[in-house]
Amino acid sequence: MLRIRRLYKEAFPKCERKPFSIIKSMAKKGRTDLWYFEEGGKFAGMCATINGHDAILIDYLAVAKERRGTGLGKKMLAMLLEHYNDYGVFLEIEEIDVNAENNDERVRRKNFYLAAGLTPMDTHVKLFGVDMELLGKDCHLTFDEYREFYLHNYSKFAYDNILKP
């Protein structure tokens, strides 16, 4: 668990992280799956999901820093999509914005997910003040359905902080 927590803190900006205690609590309740990936007997990455009745949100997915750029992220995502094959799977990415400091990173991230088989859901949201786009596999959520997913599977607080862009 310690390696997952360290990677989580290193890979995601503080403004995008929820307290790790919430993730652990949700995992104990079966509402989150917390994945520990190994390759060659060494820690390679992590993933945390939010589990709905018929849809899974890939909430956080990260490859260990020293393993990035090796194709491992693609393998991890493929394993997740196979594991959740009976569900619609979706995730949130920052909107492409040519004025954003990290726009190149946003474009690379989107291209990574598109190459892995996810498709744009044509649903755009403002999640805690950040403009996001939803990508999915076998999943198509409207704005209202997305908000309902958060209300029923995560929290009213999150639901209240999802707005139309």
pLDDT recorded at residue 1 = 84
- In angstroms, what CA-CA distances link 61 with 38, 145, 164? 14, 23, 25
pLDDT recorded at residue 69 = 87
All structural domains of the chain with their residue ranges: 2-163
pLDDT recorded at residue 59 = 97
pLDDT recorded at residue 13 = 82
Reported pTM: 0.94
Domain 2-163 annotated CATH 3.20.20.70: no
* 3-state SS, one letter per residue, for the chain: CHHHHHHHHHHCCHHHCCCHHHHHHHHHCCCCCEEEEEECCEEEEEEEEEECCCEEEEEEEEECHHHCCCCHHHHHHHHHHHHCCCCEEEEEEECCCCCCCCHHHHHHHHHHHHHCCCEEEEEEEEECCEEEEEEEECCCCCHHHHHHHHHHHCCHHHHHCEECC
What residue type is 27 in one-letter code? A
Cα(152)–Cα(159) distance, integer angstroms = 9
pLDDT recorded at residue 51 = 97
Is 140 buried (19+), middle (13-18) or exposed (0-12) by CB count in 10 A? middle
Give, for all 165 residues of the chain, the pLDDT tens digit.
Answer: 899 999 999 998 887 899 999 999 999 999 999 999 999 999 999 999 999 999 999 999 999 999 998 999 999 999 999 999 999 999 999 999 999 999 999 999 999 999 999 999 999 999 999 999 999 999 999 999 999 999 999 999 999 999 999
